[in-house]
Structure 1
């Protein structure tokens, strides 16, 4: 029964920049044969892996961001592990490295199928200061995969190098491209992505506004919505 599937912690990155028609976000398309959200356009992201807990960040999360991430259930990943997962997923799925110049303290963490070593080879150490935690959602029961996903909004100016160069991306997402918020709903989007995009639009219109982090909680029998203060 899919209702019995474990809920995996996950991190998602909404990278944005100013474009000719206003703010743009980076999106890619999942494969038609993917087990979760096939053929949908999504933000880069994925599950937290054990090695993410060993990553040392060159620059820390903002205090408020860290405090809100720490409202997770006891025993879950740390705020730093969630930030590291977000940075790693962005790197693997787009080839864009959110970091600062520097040398890793020791060897980069090793985990099967992941590429912290490739990140380090660029002479960068992950930096989390650009991450803003803006949304949290737990996948409802009955899906092929279930995640407790934290969504981070990140300005493209936080990424060193050419933000149009996706040559180092994996094949997990295709059709990587920047698209204006005014056009993005023409894509085939998951429902939760549309909800998150609405929150992104509100924030980018008024970055100083802070009503807390929306949380769609489907962990129990009755879905609930609240805001993390």
Structure 2
């Protein structure tokens, strides 16, 4: 997979290093010449250019990229890059960093954003995931809630403990992707019995989160 990362600050370089380590081709685009440090991310292609200019992105051949990550420290720049990537270069997947949480509402499909990543929101979700039992915790949203990655830890008093997955009436547009049980990662199967403390990971529509919580807890939400 070929990935373009706009912004070669600490965040952009860290993402590039992870992707390179996973075998992907990475192009780093940075406007500030002082941040163009090829030795900082060996193996990455470096381009010094203003990614908010169409001609610069054309020269960088952005259309050849499968994914664009707008990772600058400027929300305006990230939104412009996202819009250009999607509308001018038809990039399949656009991920954008939200610098100021107050601007998160702007990071929508209208601006070409498929996934918006807000550090405060992610950290809060991880804290909730670690300490919350019996409640649905949203870990990440895709396409502004059209699909969410959510987690729920089964409480001891849930009516589904000891029963097979096939018996659980999951809401529409809800897919159980994995069960975390201790140190094990279990691929769900219809005959898998549920246990108290199981962490269930779902991909689902945001509209049915409360319904899922009611099903798995056995009581109305609120």
Return the TM-score normalized by structure 1. Answer: 0.25
Q: TM-score, normalised by structure 2?
A: 0.25
More helix by share: 2
Tell me: higher relative CO, structure 1 or 2? Use CA pairs within 8 A at least 6 residues apart.
1
Q: Larger radius of gyration, structure 1 or 2?
A: 2
